[in-house]
Chain A
C-alpha cells in the first residue's frame, strides 16, 4: 500500500489528533463533488440556472421521471388513469412518501407545486393554457382536467431540464413563482443542510432516511433512487485548473466540468476516469434578431447555411476528441427519439464559402454593421462565438464583436431596439440537449413573435407544427412531425444548430455506479 508523503508527514499530527479519526470515517461516507458553478440560489422554479436545477434534483422528487430512452415513467406517482376522451388525468401518489420535515406528501402539496411550476416553465405554460382544473380530490390523488388531450403531460411533469416540477410542501409552493422560496424542505432522497450552507464555498446534503425508493432498478431519473453516501458535499472551486488539481490530489471525488485542456492530463492519471455521462449534452445555437435588418431577411439568414461547418464549431468548443461532440446535428438533439436527418444535407453537404458570399451579395444586406454578442466568461459559448464571428466576416458581414460578460449579454438580449439603440443582431449560445430534444420545450424553434425566445421570430408554420406534435397520438406520428419541423427550419432558419457538445466529467476510480443519461445525479453512486 502506498502512503503519500503528506500522509506520512501528517501521521504524527494524526496521533495527537485522535478525535479526528471519527472525521476520517465520516470522510469515507462523504462524496466530495466539485460542481461546475457556484450554487447561489436554492429554488429550481425561480431560477433556471443549471446548478440550481441540479440542486433541485437532489432534494426534490418529481411525479414522473425520464428513463434512459427519455420516456416518462411514474416516480412519486404510483401510476395514472386517463379518461377515455383523454381530458382527465387522475394521478395516484405512492404510499409512504414524506417531506424532509417528516410530514407526508399529500396530493394538495403536489397541486400547489404543479401550479407554481406551471407559471414559470415553458411546458408548464401549456398546462396553464389547457388546464381546466388541477385539484386534489383526496390526499393520494391529483386530478388534472384539460381542455384538449395532452399525451405529453407526464413527460412535462418529469423532465429533468429547467424548470423542473419540484414537489414541495404546500406552504412552500404557495410562494409567488417570481419570488424565491426560503424553505428548502424537499421530497427527494437528499436533505439540504441550510444551516451549513456557505454560498461560494460549500453546500452539504445528507441522505434522507425517510425517503422511500421505488422497487424497480435505477434507470436515469426513474426507478430506485438508492443513496449510498451519508453525505454529499458540493465544494465550489471557481478556477477549473484548481478543481482539476484537487481531483488529482484526492481532494475531490468527482469533477463535473473539467477543463478541456486538462483532459489528457486527467486521462493519464491511473486513479481518474474521464467519461461522458450526459449523452444529450448541449446544442450549440447561432441565433438571429428577426426584428431588424439584416437578419429579418430570410435570404440573409439562408446565405450563411452553406458556409457553416459544424465540425469547426465543435473543435473550438470542446476540442478534437470526437467522443465529446456530435455532427451533423439537426434541430433536435442527436441520439434522442425525434432526431432525424430530414434536409440535413444543408449542413452536412459540401461546404461552400463562395456560394455563401454570392448568396449574401444577392440578398438585401447593405453592408451595415451588425453586432454579435459573446459572453467572455462562458468558455464554450465564447469559443463558438469566435468561430461564428470569423465565419460571418468571411461571408461578408461587417461585424462588431464587443466583449461582455454573461450578465451583460443576457440583459442586452432583452433589448428589442436596433443596434444603434443598444440592440443586437446575432449571438451564440448553448441549449441543454434535453430541452431541444422535443418541440414542446424547444425555444429556438418557437415562432410566436413577441412571446418567442430572444430574436422574436414570427413563424406560423413552426407554431402550427408544434401544436400538431403536442397532439400526436404516438411516437411514429411525433417523429413525422419532427421531420417536417426540421424541413421548415431549414427553409425559415429560426436558428442554426452548430453541433452537439457532450461535456466530459471526471471522477476518481474509487467512485462507481454513476447514473448516466443526463446531469450529475447522486443516487446509485457508491465508493468501491
Chain B
C-alpha cells in the first residue's frame, strides 16, 4: 500500500511537468499581451515595448520557460504582473473561499444525492423514482448561473433571509461563514446532486438484483439494513469515482458560481488573470488545480480498498 502511494506521488512529478510545459506554451502562443493591457489606449508602440522589456516579456521562449521552471523548483510561483504581489500570496488569499465552497457543495451533494439515488433504486418505476429522475434531468439542464440568480432573487432580495453576495472567513464565526455559502453551494450543488443521484441509482439497481441481496431479504433483514449496509457498500466504487470526477467539475463550476455570488475565490482569480493576461497567476493557479486533481484521484483510488476488500495495491 505505502509503496503504491509513494509510486503514485512520484508519478505526479512528470504529470505536473507536462502540465507546466503545456500551460506555459499555450500562454506563450495565445493572443494578447499584458504590456498592451497595462499601457492602455493612449500608449505608443515604444511605450508598449518598454513595458514588455521591464516585465521581461521580450525574452525568448526558452529563456522565459527556463527562468519560470527554476523559480517553480525553488517553490517560487512568481509575482503577478499587475498587482506586484507574489502569486503564492494571491492564492493564499483566495484558496479558503474556493475550498469552503467546494467542501460545502460536496457535503450537500453527497448527503442529498446518495439517499435520493438509493430510494429511487429501491422504488424503481414508481412516482418517487420518476420524481428523482426528473430532478436529475433538471439539475443537469439548468445552468448554474440561472439557478444562482433565481436563488439570490428569492432568498436574498424577496425573503431577505440570506446575503446576495460575498464571503465571510470561517475565522469570523461558523454562522456568518455558512450564511454566505448556502446559496452558492445549492446553486453549484444542483448538478452534482443530479449526477451522483443517477449514478447511485444505476449502481444500486445492479447490486439489488444480486443473489446475496435476495438472500438477505429471505433471511428477513430489515430494508434499511439491506439498502444502506449490504447494497450501498457494494455499489460505492462507481459512486466514489463519480465524486472524484465531480471534483474537477467543481473547479470549473466554481468559476461561474464565484462570479455570480461575488466570492473572491480561485475561480475568479483565474478568470481575472486570463482576461488581463497575468501569466504568472494563470500558470500558478493551473498548476495548483492540476496538483489538486491528481491528489483527489489518488485519494479516490485509495478509497476503493475501503469499499471492496478485493482491491489491493
| Chain A residues at the B interface, C-beta cutoff of 8 Å | 4-7, 9, 13, 17, 38, 40-42, 46-49, 120, 122, 162, 176, 178-180, 182, 198-202, 235-239, 241-243, 245-246, 248-249, 251, 377, 404-408, 410-414, 429, 431, 443, 450-451, 453-454
Contacts and interface: CB of A to CB of B under 8 A. Distances in A.
B161 A9 contact: yes
A249 B164 contact: yes
B152 A200 contact: no
A201 B93 contact: yes
B48 to A, nearest CB: 6
A235 B163 CA distance: 14
Contact of A6 (B33, B161, B268): B161
Q: How large is the interface on B (under 10, 10 to 19, 20 to 34, 35 or more residues)?
A: 35 or more
Contacts of A38: 272
A412 B275 CA distance: 15
Contacts of A249: 156-157, 160, 163-164
Interface in B160-194: 160-166, 173, 175
Interface stretch (B83-91, B99-107, B223-231): B83-91
Q: Tell me if A's interface is mostly helix, strand, loop or mixed.
A: loop
Contacts of A248: 157
Contacts of B39: 48
7 contacts: A122-B42, A182-B84, A236-B264, A239-B262, A404-B31, A410-B40, A453-B42
A410 B276 CA distance: 11
B38 A47 contact: yes
A243 B164 CA distance: 9
Contacts of A406: 37, 275
A47 B262 contact: no
Contacts of A450: 45
B257 to A, nearest CB: 11
Given A38-B272, A241-B149, A249-B157, A405 B262 contact: no
Given A9-B161, A48-B43, A407-B276, A245 B156 contact: yes
Nearest to B156: A249
Contacts of A243: 262
B284 to A, nearest CB: 14
B59 interface: no
Q: Which of B34, B37, B159, B259 has the most CB of A within 10 A?
A: B37
Contact of A443 (B31, B32, B41): B41
A200 B266 CA distance: 10
B205 interface: no
Nearest to B269: A200
Contact of B165 (A120, A251, A407): A251
Contact of A245 (B43, B164, B278): B164
B164 A242 contact: yes
B152 A242 contact: yes
A137 B160 CA distance: 62
Contacts of A178: 47, 50-51, 53-54
Nearest to B167: A201
Contact of B41 (A42, A179, A431): A431
A238 B268 contact: yes
A239 B38 contact: no
Contact of B93 (A47, A198, A412): A198
Contacts of B173: 17
A429 B40 CA distance: 12
B144 to A, nearest CB: 12
B101 to A, nearest CB: 14
A414 B262 contact: no
Given A178-B47, A245-B165, 9 more contacts: A4-B160, A7-B160, A13-B175, A122-B42, A180-B84, A200-B264, A242-B165, A245-B152, A405-B32
A5 B159 contact: yes
Nearest to B97: A201
Nearest to A239: B259
A239 B260 contact: yes
Q: Which of A9, A40, A47, A450 has the most CB of B within 10 A?
A: A40
Contacts of B210: none
Contact of A412 (B31, B40, B83, B94): B31
B135 interface: no
A454 to B, nearest CB: 8
B261 interface: yes
A414 B271 CA distance: 24
B153 interface: yes
Contacts of B36: 407, 410-411, 413-414
Contacts of A411: 31-33, 36
Nearest to A181: B84
B191 to A, nearest CB: 19
Contacts of B85: 199
Interface string B13-38: 00000000000000000011110111
Contacts of B47: 120, 178
A128 to B, nearest CB: 13
A360 to B, nearest CB: 28
A450 B33 CA distance: 20
B42 A251 contact: no
B277 interface: yes
Contacts of A40: 80, 82-83, 272, 276, 278
Contacts of B37: 406-407, 410
Contacts of B215: none
B209 interface: no
6 smallest CB-CB distances across A and B, nearest first, come from A48-B40, A201-B264, A407-B32, A40-B82, A411-B33, A237-B262
Given A242-B260, A404-B31, A48 B41 contact: yes
Nearest to B35: A411
Nearest to A199: B83
Contacts of A414: 33, 36, 45, 48
A453 to B, nearest CB: 7
A41 B35 CA distance: 13
Contacts of A120: 47
B127 interface: no
B44 interface: yes
A66 B259 CA distance: 37
B42 A443 contact: yes
Contacts of A13: 175
A408 B31 contact: yes
A412 B163 CA distance: 41
Nearest to B93: A198
Contact of B84 (A6, A41, A241, A413): A41
B153 A245 contact: yes
A246 B264 contact: no
Contact of B164 (A48, A251, A413): A251
B43 A407 contact: no
Contacts of B272: 38, 40, 199-200, 238
A241 B84 CA distance: 30
A248 B39 CA distance: 36
Nearest to A249: B164
Given A46-B38, A47-B40, A239-B260, A199 B54 contact: no
A236 B259 CA distance: 10
Contacts of A47: 38, 40, 82
A88 B67 CA distance: 50
